[in-house]
Structure 1
């Protein structure tokens, strides 16, 4: 493939000009906390040699956070560089398999930005960001949760991945438990489609709980989804080996239903969650093997991370009894604003630029991928793009991360409860982690627990001592920080952007703790 070299395709990194932009592969696990990755949790009982290889040959980040502790909003943040609670549709929770599109086609994404720089782009795996299904006669599709009975499964789908910068899409519309249980290629559901109208129908198909009724393809087998996506991903890399390319590879594992392929079932010695983590690591290994075979390793930036912490369906008590802790040393799990909800593994390998075996303590957020891709390709985003994204390219290069001492990162729970971090200080606006999901360390009481909590992450990242009463001025300062970020429509420097915080038609009940600062 003959590449058109433009000014934005010339990189000036580490003081040296590089005329060939890097290939980029972003691998996103689903519900996999730092304790489930052995290069973080050396005492854990799950071995992840392929992810460990990335850390050994690249950089491991120790203070990386997702912008939400559940699926959909984190994925929105990764691709847009923007907090999902800024959208009118998603102040809390997640979408379902038939929800309408969340990313507006006019919004810049990592994929559309890179595509303009000559990259081939693909999303292979779990989308979970909505797409517009054609309604059946007499139906009117509105809202976040749309019934499968109101859509036509055979009609072309609009405003999916292809509308926001991806040349190619092959995947599923929601989580592995969600209908439709079928693959989608670009804008069409694949296979012979049938209706699974009741749970008895779902069970008769052999789908593992908590799978839901709805449309399903007769050819679709849950245990084959991860292997199929992995083959599709490696085949796509081979087809686009002349580059540059961007592959977004959001795996559906180890999210429930826990359906590891037969090759991995029982291999962890723990439970099905452990087995599914092994299969997730295998998928990472297949991508790395393909890059090696094609001699693409040196100039390919590979990211491995997760969309949030581990789900309670992993069986925390059962795993703990065997000496394994998915949240590692942290409180909480998926859905919560405790560290275990949003502090995730984040490993980056790029041999031409990243020192092998490096470890970074920089505070970064999943929204930062957008700005990083913009900087490494020499692009200056528009003022209304990537408004919550800060490039971590300096950290990758081993240089100090600008502004890291007072970086502001907002955490958001499944119930839409806010928490905010600035530098080493973290404020939580509730006493229960913002979620109905529990804290696996609940038997270890927090000293001075209250509805306002303040933690010093430098000395107490495990959240054991609430300092809110001791430092009320820091709590108040962070409340104002949160209010300002919501009011300004952005958390990065730049012009103020529209915000719906004062729109009477948009409900923000989760903002009660900071409403005074918003007036």
Structure 2
């Protein structure tokens, strides 16, 4: 019989052992229709990602935090939507010291925390650097501009509380190295509760996968198996040229799917299956940068719009969650929830502290297809590039507001249950509905604390 310190140690160890592991995979600019479970017409199949939903649950009405990278990740990790978040645009502004993250909550609850991929919420030496915001280990890109280059000569690494710039071989595809760090993290922490955040850069431009990944989509003569291609020529030094952009994009989505399969296989191999949640989603809608062609790939499926739109195609994203023994298999859910709900949901799952002053709610019950007792009355988004766009969703009614300096505001209104493609603007037909929802828009936001995202000038 154990007594005293030995008994206490055993109790603490058992408690840690039973804390569930969390793996959160975040694709970059992957559209709702790029996952074959969401779009049977997709020319690229994603069997490993699909399997997460087959063995768990697939959400049809899940929303990103924004329609571009940095603010969407801010909403995910801080639990605040764009009416209250600090980072509301795609800049290199860091999180502040007072902005608590999901990783910090889990780290404080005894979790080993690792992130591998693209951060986007703070550079080295700022208040938003990953080692300050809750990550024990990190390998990848700190900002979104650097992440455009898959063959970079350096990346950043966090070890033992310190961040450093790491030189690397420019012949090695960064995603391959990022994946290996992720797999090593799982192996190294298999006996401890861990939170693994994987904000992969795939399939964001540039469209430049390794030749070995391209082979499956090229004929022997080097031409594309996906039909005639329109080569992409490098412009303004942003993305490298690509002779076969369709084949390249298909290769990148296929690589992403294969990487998800490798992660799932390792979890099973290590016997962690029954105590690990795997989440898979995307940071926003599909892009058309660097030669990408969302029309050819039907990347938004039945939805209208892409990245940088507040139409459904810009913000509705896939979400599949697998956790054997915790999440019943084979479910498809239409319960709506969003990025800012992830923090309180994972806090609930892991019995971690819950932050006050956030917009998110726990949707833990939704993981088994049950409507939570508390749900959102409405959802709000804001986008600050080239003027102001705002969107509000309530009971299948979607209002979008457009406002630029010196121009009158303009509203579009859609009833999504009857018009998922947002083809029929009902704003003039239902002016009272526009008035009511625009009133909710005003209630849902505060002026931006940082002048970079100050939209007040567009309100005049």
Paired residues of 1:417 and 1:511 also in contact (CA < 8 A): no
Paired residues of 1:409 and 1:422 also in contact (CA < 8 A): no
Paired residues of 1:124 and 1:250 also in contact (CA < 8 A): yes
Q: Deviations over 1:88-117 (max 9, x none)?
A: 5x443x12xxx35x2223322111111111
Tell me the residue number matched to 2:170: 220
- In 1: Cα distance, 2:340 partner to 2:389 partner: 18
Closer, same or farther in 2 for the Cα pair 1:464/1:244, shift >3 Å?
Answer: same
Paired residues of 1:418 and 1:510 also in contact (CA < 8 A): no
Task: Quote the offset at 1:344 in angstroms.
Answer: 0.8
Asked if 1:419 is matched to 2:391, the reply is: yes
Q: Deviations over 1:349-403 (max 9, x none)?
A: 111211111011011111111010111123442423xx12122211112321335
Paired residues of 1:67 and 1:411 also in contact (CA < 8 A): no
Asked if 1:508 is matched to 2:458, the reply is: no
SS at match of 2:309: coil
Task: Quote the offset at 1:404 in angstroms.
Answer: 4.3
Paired residues of 2:156 and 2:166 also in contact (CA < 8 A): yes
Please report the TM-score for the alignment, with normalisation by the length of structure 1. Answer: 0.74
SS at match of 1:63: strand
Tell me the residue number matched to 2:23: 25
Map residues 246-257 of structure 1 onto 2, 5 A cutoff: 246-257=195-206
Closer, same or farther in 2 for the Cα pair 1:370/1:264, shift >3 Å?
Answer: same
Q: Deviations over 1:316-345 (max 9, x none)?
A: 65x645xx3011111111111111111111
Closer, same or farther in 2 for the Cα pair 1:226/1:3, shift >3 Å?
Answer: farther
Asked if 1:111 is matched to 2:103, the reply is: yes
Asked if 1:234 is matched to 2:203, the reply is: no
Paired residues of 2:361 and 2:375 also in contact (CA < 8 A): no
Map residues 268-283 of structure 1 onto 2, 5 A cutoff: 268=217, 269-270=225-226, 271=246, 272-283=248-259
Paired residues of 2:69 and 2:284 also in contact (CA < 8 A): yes
Asked if 1:339 is matched to 2:312, the reply is: yes
- In 1: Cα distance, 2:321 partner to 2:389 partner: 30
SS at match of 1:478: helix
Q: Which residue of 272, 277, 299 corresponds with 1:326?
A: 299
SS at match of 2:268: helix
- In 1: Cα distance, 2:301 partner to 2:403 partner: 21
Tell me the residue number matched to 1:263: 212
CA RMSD of aligned residues (A): 2.9
- In 2: Cα distance, 1:500 partner to 1:507 partner: 5
SS at match of 1:162: coil
Asked if 1:461 is matched to 2:420, the reply is: yes
Tell me the residue number matched to 2:366: 395
Task: Quote the offset at 1:61 in angstroms.
Answer: 0.4
Paired residues of 1:431 and 1:453 also in contact (CA < 8 A): no
Task: Quote the offset at 1:258 in angstroms.
Answer: 1.0
Asked if 1:296 is matched to 2:272, the reply is: yes
- In 1: Cα distance, 2:457 partner to 2:263 partner: 41
Q: Deviations over 1:164-217 (max 9, x none)?
A: 1111111111232269752111111012xxxxxxxxxxxxxxxxxxxxxxxxx5
Structure 2 spans left out of the alignment, 5+ residues: 1-8, 218-224, 227-245
Aligned length: 414
- In 2: Cα distance, 1:4 partner to 1:249 partner: 31
Paired residues of 1:335 and 1:413 also in contact (CA < 8 A): no
Closer, same or farther in 2 for the Cα pair 1:327/1:411, shift >3 Å?
Answer: farther
Tell me the residue number matched to 2:434: 475
Paired residues of 2:64 and 2:339 also in contact (CA < 8 A): yes
Tell me the residue number matched to 1:79: 77
Task: Quote the offset at 1:315 in angstroms.
Answer: 4.7
Tell me the residue number matched to 1:408: 379
Tell me the residue number matched to 1:35: 33
Closer, same or farther in 2 for the Cα pair 1:250/1:294, shift >3 Å?
Answer: same
Closer, same or farther in 2 for the Cα pair 1:5/1:478, shift >3 Å?
Answer: farther
Q: Deviations over 1:225-271 (max 9, x none)?
A: 11111111011100000121000011011001112122211424442
Please report the TM-score for the alignment, with normalisation by the length of structure 2. Answer: 0.83
Closer, same or farther in 2 for the Cα pair 1:305/1:453, shift >3 Å?
Answer: same
SS at match of 2:205: coil
Paired residues of 1:70 and 1:414 also in contact (CA < 8 A): no
Closer, same or farther in 2 for the Cα pair 1:466/1:226, shift >3 Å?
Answer: same
SS at match of 2:177: helix
